Amino acid sequence: MSNASFKMNGVEVFSENAQTVTMNNGTIGSGVVFPNFIPEIIAAARFDGSDGGSISLFNFNEPTKNGTGDYSLTFSSARSSLDFLIFHTGIDSNNNYLDHLVYSVSINGFSLEYRKNGTAEDVTESNVIVLKFPIT
């Protein structure tokens, strides 16, 4: 397969070479600016909250179940700062999405809480991704 690229106003924005996609930094025309950084995945988890067991972990220790619908995730190694964003979802045993929140965020990790109609509920599947956004 030949190498591919995507251009805006004649300037290459994305390129592909040997199945590696690169986002090129800079400004494309007026008003369209690309950041000079790309977010880095620093941790990810997918776990079954009904028993606190992990399905798969990346840069996290085993999740801790604090109570019904309440879990703590700690990083394998403490972060040097709070330069990250946390994205997560959770579903129950009927595949319904649950209300969720993040609390107690620190350089060591954070806690997640899941609720359905205001009542704490265990998740059957929780998906978490933590992205680092370098401050320039």
Farthest CA pair distance, the chain: 55
Q: Is residue 9 part of a domain?
A: no
Residue 50: which CATH number? 2.60.40
Tally of structural domains, the chain: 1
Give me the pLDDT at residue 1, please: 43
Q: Is residue 10 part of a domain?
A: no
Place of tokens 């007026």: 30
Q: Is residue 93 part of a domain?
A: yes
- By the 10 Å C-beta count (0-12 exposed, 13-18 middle, 19+ buried), 86 is classed as middle
Q: Is residue 95 part of a domain?
A: yes
CA distance 19 to 28: 24
Q: Is residue 77 part of a domain?
A: yes
pTM of the model: 0.70
Q: Which domain holds residue 107?
A: 40-132
pLDDT tens over the chain, length 136 residues: 456 666 656 666 666 666 555 656 554 454 555 555 667 889 999 998 876 566 789 999 999 999 999 999 999 999 999 989 999 999 988 888 999 999 999 999 999 999 999 999 999 989 999 998 765 5
Place of tokens 């996290």: 60
Closest CA to 75 of 126, 29, 110, 25: 110
Q: Is residue 35 part of a domain?
A: no
